[in-house]
Chain A
């Protein structure tokens, strides 16, 4: 398992699907383990009833069908597909609606889905918030006209513990996967791709509402992940390029004046 995870962080994030399917073929008895520790780019399909897009993942899958958060039905139809309790389904519907607004404000587009189900082991519930954004969609180049290809997938899984004297424990695991390519004649193709995963746990008062608590944690985490990709991870690859071929002296000093 350790070796499999080491390989996943060495192979290009753009090849993560091929890498994971190769590992699954190699380790047929560790399917569940691998799938719980490695995230893959998300898939989107339209809901046949409403036409609205929703995201496919392990959490809304039952056999070979996926449950739409909009209609609560499985596609293709499934006789006895698992459904959340009516109480959780109510929360799920509300979460989908609110999270879509959140997504639109930060992403100016994209697709989001939220899935909620009972946590039989720990007595609480688990909520999975998904966002998929294709940054090159608007006119093929992205809104600002730079991207030839751009993909951002965010997966937030929140385990919410049982309510104990008005507080609950929220454990959030977030993964962001992204890939962006710019391409033009004079500078050639430039691709940055990456994936990072982080966790955080908080004990919060249930009085503020589960959705509010989870939402705030996700917003904070997404901000942190975006920031560290931008500042730390991309910065490190840039540093590496400058180590390979240091810019001539003087050029670096001139930059800030621009």
Chain B
């Protein structure tokens, strides 16, 4: 037969292409696996300069996409790496503790902490709504996600001083489980945009939920699921708002979880069956011992009773 694909491209890859390949692998690493991918790709490249350029570009993107959460050095909690709290590429706001954390994207650690300045924080009026929602969110996340971290960011109108203008929060929930010794990793990410529309006196909710799981003991199987949902409620006091917004989030996330369960339950009898049945349509194993006869008589449909 054809003797392999031994026609190596003569031209060696340029540094730019190598960097792009490295970045592609890093950016597409499953949840919790970028360090392993980095180790592999570094050794395959055999060029630390190219690797470092690729890593310095790819890690920040990955950390933000995966909502990586890092413990803050004073142990006051975790800071989530997300564009919603991004001050600059290595500094991220933790709205709950009003601190700014400096992160090392490649090591995925938080190296320094400073109090946030007044300009980085929302007004007193906005903070009232934000902290009320954050308190409800923490309760929910604590009881729902064993390894969950969460935050509420003011993403629009943080300087609004009182009624009359709208503003927007972004609620982020990130839960990850890494179990490399069991060849299993996974993550749950929710991002909820909460728009407070002052003129219409409504609060609009837009959520995007994403769940991934990877099992790779002697194989490679991945779950990738996404959903979008929206809802709305009336504009109320900070405390009442917090409760109704959290009720909607709880409701939608619960529904999404049930739909995931339903998809798994449907798998064996419907979805998977469309690819390959467990048993042939005849419900007996294939009669391999009779095949000679089949091919001699060419009367296969009659023999198998599947009448074509």
Write the residues of chain A forming the contact surface with B, with a CB cutoff of 8 angstroms: 3-4, 6-15, 18-19, 22-23, 25-29, 31-32, 35-36, 58-63, 82, 94, 97-98, 101-102, 105-108, 115, 117, 133, 135-136, 142-147, 150-152, 178, 180, 182, 186-197, 208-209, 211-212, 215-216, 219, 222-223, 226-227, 229-230, 233-234, 236-241, 243-247
Contacts and interface: CB of A to CB of B under 8 A. Distances in A.
A50 to B, nearest CB: 17
A17 B279 CA distance: 31
Contacts of A144: 270-271, 273-274
Given A15-B28, A244-B211, A105 B147 contact: no
Interface string B16-32: 01100100110011100
Given A58-B4, A208-B289, A236-B221, 12 more contacts: A7-B25, A9-B219, A10-B40, A19-B28, A25-B13, A35-B5, A61-B1, A101-B300, A144-B271, A236-B184, A241-B213, A245-B253
B277 interface: yes
Contacts of B288: 98, 211-212, 215-216, 219
Given A9-B216, A238-B264, A98 B175 contact: no
Given A9-B216, A10-B37, A244-B187, A219 B286 contact: yes
Given A106-B277, A234-B267, A244-B188, A195 B220 contact: yes
A209 B276 CA distance: 26
20 contacts: A3-B40, A3-B41, A11-B220, A18-B24, A22-B21, A26-B21, A28-B12, A31-B7, A98-B294, A186-B259, A188-B256, A189-B224, A192-B221, A192-B223, A195-B220, A211-B292, A215-B286, A226-B276, A233-B219, A233-B221
Interface stretch (B95-103, B129-137, B225-233): B225-233
Given A187-B259, A223-B278, A94 B224 contact: no
B149 to A, nearest CB: 12
Interface residues of B, number: 93
The residue in B37, B260, B263 that gathers the most chain A C-beta atoms within 10 A of its C-beta is B263
Contact of B186 (A59, A105, A193, A244): A244
Interface string B213-252: 1111011111111111000000000000000000000000
Contacts of A246: 146
B94 to A, nearest CB: 22
A32 B6 contact: yes
B291 A178 contact: no
Given A3-B44, A10-B36, A230-B267, A212 B291 contact: yes
Nearest to A216: B288
The residue in B2, B218, B294 that gathers the most chain A C-beta atoms within 10 A of its C-beta is B2
A187 B260 contact: yes
Contacts of B1: 58-62, 82, 115, 117
B173 to A, nearest CB: 10
B181 interface: no
Contact of B286 (A26, A28, A102, A209): A102
B177 interface: yes
Contacts of A12: 28, 30, 222, 224
Contact of A194 (B17, B44, B222): B222
B145 A244 contact: yes
A151 B271 CA distance: 11
A106 B281 CA distance: 7
A135 B276 CA distance: 8
B210 to A, nearest CB: 9
A240 B259 contact: no
A14 B255 CA distance: 27
B40 A237 contact: no
Contacts of B202: none
B33 interface: yes
B174 to A, nearest CB: 10
Nearest to B273: A144
A199 to B, nearest CB: 11
Contacts of A239: 184
B295 interface: yes
Given A22-B24, A105-B282, A105-B306, A187 B256 contact: yes
A216 to B, nearest CB: 5
B270 A10 contact: no
Given A3-B40, A178-B275, A240-B215, A188 B221 contact: no
